[in-house]
Structures are given as structure tokens and as C-alpha cells.
Amino acid sequence: MSQQAQARPADDSTDALSKGEIFDVLQNERRRYVLQYLRENGGPVTLGDLASHVASREYECESVDVSSAQRKRVYTTLQQTHLPRMDETGIVEYDADSGIIATTPQTNELTVYLEIVPGSEFPWREYYLSFGAISLAVVVILWVGVYPFTLLPPLVWATVMAVVLTGSALYHTVLGREMTLTEFVDDEDM
């Protein structure tokens, strides 16, 4: 591990890092891929395996299909830039001599920051607000007795609204669980 990582107390937590520092590290796509791989695979990983995974994500192919040139580009930037930066902040432990990357308590604590809604995701708050407004409008229309809404009994309308709401919430929940680090919008190439 780096000198700085060895000097860090074992009970160091993300409270020691400011949000600015965390977002500075996480703004980079390759660093997010590193955290994703560590979250999926747990314990210590080798730099070679990590580079293969990151390259496969960047080039949108299977790890076995990554060319040696692609893997080397990723390997080099991870080794020289990204892993030392992540080690400095305590987000991972990186031993440059052995090429081993390990998780820290902070790696797991960053989950809340990694689940922030990306700019390209569907605006769920607006969806639920709109659904609520439409539901209220249907209730008022049924209460007033506006034709053709009165062709269906109010219980049918209530059932339809409940099914749509439950289905939406279920879909949103499943989507949230599947959200990965790769869904973040990144302006940087490295």
C-alpha cells in the first residue's frame, strides 16, 4: 500500500472526505468503473483483471475481446493516475508494487454517492407528481359525473390507478437496483 494509505487510521470513514473530494474522484468514468468492479467482486483484485474489466466497459465488449493495445492504455492510466488518486483519498487501497487493489470501509460507504440520478435518467419525481395530478383529476371528474368517464364504475378507475402506480413503483425499484456506475454522464475521457 502507499505510504499515505499505511499512515491512515483503520477507522477512517467517508466523513473525513468532503463531498467535493468525493465528487472530484467520482467524476471520472474510469474511477467509477473501478468502484463498480470492486463492488461486484469484493476483495482484492489485480491491476490486470481490473484493466481488462474497465477496458471492456469503455469499449463495450467482453473482456476476452479487448485488444492488448486497449488494455494497455487503460492499465497505464489506472496505474499512473487513477488508482494513486483513489488511494490518496482512501477510497481504495492500491499497492503499486504488487498491483493489488483492495476495498476500504470508504469504498462501501460511497454507495450513496454512486446512486445519484444521472442527468439522462427519466425524471421519476415528475412522473409521480403527474400521475398524482391525473389521478386527482379523474377523481374530481368522477365526483362531478362527467361523461364518458361515468361509463366505468369508480372502483374500476381506482383499480386501474392502483395497478399503474404499483407497476410504476415496481419498475422504478427494479431499475434503481440495476443502476450501475456506468450510467453516469462523464465529460472526461480518462
In the chain, the number of structural domains is 2
Residue 51's pLDDT is 92
What is d(CA 186, CA 23) in angstroms, rounded to the nearest whole number?
12
Residues 102 and 131 placed together within one structural domain of the fold? no
Burial 128-150 (b: 16+ CB within 10 A, else e): eeeeeeebeebeeebeeeeeeee
Q: Is the pLDDT of residue 185 over 50?
A: no
Residues 80 and 152 placed together within one structural domain of the fold? no
Residue 179's pLDDT is 54
Residues 106 and 35 placed together within one structural domain of the fold? yes
Residue 37's pLDDT is 87
* 58, 79, 114 - which closes a domain: 114
- Band of pLDDT at residue 174, cut at 50, 70 and 90: confident
Residues 39 and 97 placed together within one structural domain of the fold? yes
User: Which residue type does 40 have?
Assistant: E
Instruction: Look up the domain containing 144 and give its range.
Output: 124-183
pTM over 0.75: no
Residues 6+ positions from 14 with CB-CB distance below 8 Å: 22, 106, 109, 110
Residues 98 and 134 placed together within one structural domain of the fold? no
